[in-house]
Amino acid sequence: MKNYESLVTKIEEITEEFKNNLHYNDFERSLTDLMQQYLAEHIQSVLESLMHDKWFMSVLISMAGKRCLSLEGYRLVTVSVLNDQRILISVPYFYNRVKKKKGRKKKGRSKGNNIDCHLGLSIIGMVGSSSGNLASEICKMALLAPSEDMAVRLLSDRGVVINVKTLRKMVRDVGQIGLSRRGIISVDQKHTINSGTLVIGIDGGRLRERRTKPGRKKQDQQRQGFTTEWKEPVLFTMYLTDDKGNIDKSFQPIYDATMQGKDQAFGLIEEYLDAIDLSAISRIVFCGDGAPWIWSRAEALFTRRFQDKQTWQVLDYTHAKQAVDEIIDYLPNKCKETDKIRKVLKNALWKGEIDTMEKIININFTGKRKQKALNKWSNYFRSNEKRMQYSRFSDEGLPQGSGCVESAIRRVINLRLKSCGSFWKRENAELYLFLRSQLITGRWNIFFHNITNRRELFDNQIEIKSNDYLKWAA
């Protein structure tokens, strides 16, 4: 299709054919394919012209020089644009001019410098040799579909024909670029927070980790075996509320999760806090269950960062009520006052009257059951007394539970990574946890805009080759 006139002629032919056979679906599909072909040819012409533009080349050479990259010449590259149209363009090729160390060459396949080669494509927002829009669609389908095979089939129905290997590579490339700027890349720097309360919640989920069995493969085995132990990814959430406790919907919540443990999760919380302008925030609230590892780290976080702000710690009210039920279980089975005692205990819990709960236990429990109930009360309720002032929290417009983080665990982890028969390598689980968090919270467009619309994008791509972030998963 060389020009606009030929496009109009083709449209008229397709229209006449529709009038004769009245097959609307075929008519719609034919028009869509025709327009996509025309747009692909136009994109090819524009990109070809840009890659040979003198001003654009001077900018590339200047940027490349600061990164020890030299221009070798032009090479033909196949670029995939939205709806998987493939175009062939000539692009400048850069290589790493750092001198190689002398010595004997290592055996094995060379990794090369392919990530650094096509600097011009990176600057305009390409992910590898694919349009950013196409990469976004592929990644979203991989993150939402119940399996990679299903994602490939659904993409083919939409005209994007790829295989599982290509889909995995796209998710890995996008995820690694995001991980190299984790925290700030998910935040819109133009968005300002006028006032409110920042609520942070944290908890652990569950998924099965796939790890290769040590030792050599047996002769009669086709492949090396693996173990699938349960692991606990740690997930945290952040959202804003007003003075009355209503959620501020103008601020999209922040989710993220990691397989690297509790300390790394709190480190990520600080990275996100650094990316957000907290100057207008009046109060900081930390929510969680009764796990001691949460509160020891939360107190250290508050001491280190928020000495000039009002801080609160809230133990989830639902978990606290479940602990009351565990104490009730120590009553004799024939006790007729069980429901009444439960009601009195939960009423005292809501008011934060922890000492009253002890008196009720001393009056109504006897023997060894009484001692067990008192131990539970001391270990759980007495040690968390300041985090169980629910009536006061309600009056102050503060949350009384960690329902947000519980919901996030279900949507980010359980619905995709915890499905039956799913076993994850650490590095793949880390990528999916991070990317699904961006998608579920509605921050995907912000995240992808920061990936594909920044001049310093090539810095991220160079860092992929030396990215230490996932070396722990090796």
Count CB neighbours of 84 within 10 A: 20
pLDDT at 97: 64
Count CB neighbours of 16 within 10 A: 9
pLDDT in tens, 39-57: 888 899 999 999 999 998 9
pLDDT at 453: 74
pLDDT at 101: 56
> In a 10 Å sphere around its CB, with 0-12 CB exposed, 13-18 middle and 19+ buried, how is residue 279 labelled?
exposed
pLDDT at 105: 54
Q: Are 84 and 160 in contact (CB under 8 A)?
A: yes
Instruction: Match 């990530």 to its residue by tokens.
Output: 115
Instruction: Match 């030299």 to its residue by tokens.
Output: 70
Distance, in Å, from the CA atom of 329 to the CA atom of 365, rounded to the nearest integer, reads 11
pLDDT at 395: 93
Distance, in Å, from the CA atom of 129 to the CA atom of 78, rounded to the nearest integer, reads 7
What count of residues does the chain have?
A: 474
Tell me the two tokens of residue 231: 């692991």
Give the residue from 398, 401, 405, 443 showing the smallest Cα distance to 282.
398
pLDDT at 200: 96
Count CB neighbours of 92 within 10 A: 21
For residue 435, which phi and psi values (nearest 5 degrees)? -70, -40
Q: Are 226 and 256 in contact (CB under 8 A)?
A: no
pLDDT at 152: 95
Mean pLDDT in each 10-residue stretch from start to end of the chain (474 residues)?
76 87 87 86 91 90 84 90 87 76 51 60 86 92 94 90 92 91 87 88 94 81 84 95 89 94 94 90 92 93 91 94 92 80 93 93 89 92 94 93 92 92 92 96 92 57 41 43
